[in-house]
């Protein structure tokens, strides 16, 4: 939604961070990948700034999406223009030079992302993920992992062997209708509780819900993850919401955090303290 309502249930604190959103194009400057599986509308730097201002947010984490492939040009341009306001998560392969990694770090990249979800692209190979994690570990970066829910329990060896902190996107994309006892969710909650390297984003409510807005069925899932490891939780809008069945209002998603984390102290930890620790904003 291009005109979200401002948050109505709480005032985001200074330094509040949308820890998962995207920059798409504009395609005339930053063409989409020829082999992409979807084509999003242009959603560039100016639109992101307008969104942040509307929602009362101070920072954002820009996550490279598969429609741009491993050409991170649009992401890096937005990081430079943000002058320290934003952090980035890139998509790379093993051909990247160490000097390019250092240059990315200099403009605010703090992690790399791998897609495993079947509808986007061929799943990343574990060998590749582990090798690239080894290369970015000296920079203090993390690895972001995007799974279909049933894939999560099958990747315990990957989680154990990673040389970096790692984030599971969108609460593992588990379906809210499956409840707290579904195997992927139990595995994810236990992983957070036992491994301090594991993080999760309580985002993507519009993808998980079975009933639609205001996404009440997603609240128990988010609360359980926050309870398991409040210091390892991030929140994000997933703006501009590629590949969704209905377009959410980002103001609703901010307000939903009041249900995910009713206590102001916990909410501020998720919005400010946790992202600052992981992304090391300038």
Q: What class does CATH assign to 17-279?
A: alpha beta
User: What is the structure's pLDDT at 68?
Assistant: 85
Residue of 238, 250, 252, 255 with catalytic role = 238
Active site residue 280: no
Mean pLDDT of the region 80-99? 97
Average pLDDT, the chain: 95
| CA 16 from centroid of its chain's CA atoms | 15
Q: How far apart are the first and last CA of the chain?
A: 30
pLDDT digits (tens, 9 = 90+) for 123-147: 678 999 999 999 999 999 999 999 9
34 Cβ contact partners less than 8 Å away, ≥ 6 residues apart: none
pLDDT digits (tens, 9 = 90+) for 3-43: 899 999 999 999 999 999 999 989 899 898 888 888 888 88
pLDDT over 60 at 1, yes or no: no
Domain boundaries, the chain: 17-279
User: What is the structure's pLDDT at 87?
Assistant: 98
What beta strand segments (E) does the chain contain? 17-21, 59-63, 86-90, 109-115, 142-146, 166-168, 198-201, 233-234
Mean pLDDT of the region 191-209? 98
> In which band, very low, low, confident or very high, does the pLDDT at 202 lie, cut at 50, 70 and 90?
very high
User: What is the structure's pLDDT at 240?
Assistant: 95
Give the Cα separation of 20 and 107 in Å (integer): 18
pLDDT digits (tens, 9 = 90+) for 38-81: 888 888 999 999 999 999 999 999 999 888 889 999 999 999 99
Question: What is this structure's pTM?
Answer: 0.95
In terms of Cα–Cα distance, which of 278, 211, 218 is closest to 253? Answer: 218
Kindly write down the DSSP assignment for every residue of 9-67, as one continuous string. Answer: S-PPPTT-EEEEE--B--TTTSPPPTT-S--PPPB-HHHHHHHHHHHT--EEEEE--GG
List phi, psi (to 5°) of 141: -80, 170
């Amino acid at each position: 939604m291009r005109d979200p309502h401002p948050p109505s249930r709480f005032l985001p604190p200074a330094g509040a961070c949308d820890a998962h959103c995207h920059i798409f194009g504009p395609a005339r400057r930053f063409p989409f990948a020829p082999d992409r599986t979807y084509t999003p509308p242009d959603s560039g730097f100016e639109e992101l700034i307008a969104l942040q201002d509307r929602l009362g947010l101070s920072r954002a984490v820009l996550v490279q999406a598969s429609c741009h492939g491993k050409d991170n040009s649009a992401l890096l341009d937005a990081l430079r223009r943000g002058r320290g306001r934003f952090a980035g998560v890139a998509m790379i392969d093993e051909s990247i030079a160490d000097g390019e990694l250092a240059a990315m770090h200099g403009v605010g990249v703090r992690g790399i992302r791998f897609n495993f979800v079947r509808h986007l692209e061929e799943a990343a190979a574990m060998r590749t993920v582990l090798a690239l994690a080894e290369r970015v570990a000296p920079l203090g970066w993390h690895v972001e992992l995007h799974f279909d829910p049933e894939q999560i329990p099958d990747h315990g060896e990957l989680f154990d062997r990673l040389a970096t902190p790692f984030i599971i996107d969108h609460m593992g994309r588990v379906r809210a209708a499956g409840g707290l006892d579904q195997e992927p969710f139990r595995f994810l909650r236990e992983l957070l509780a036992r491994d301090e390297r594991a993080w999760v984003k309580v985002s993507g409510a519009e993808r998980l819900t079975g009933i639609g807005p205001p996404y009440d069925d997603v609240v128990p899932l988010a609360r359980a993850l926050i309870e398991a490891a409040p210091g390892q939780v991030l929140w994000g809008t997933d703006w501009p919401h590629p590949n969704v069945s209905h377009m959410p209002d980002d103001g609703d998603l901010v307000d939903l955090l009041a249900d995910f984390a009713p206590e102001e102290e916990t909410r501020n930890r998720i919005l400010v303290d946790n992202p600052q620790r992981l992304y090391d904003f300038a």
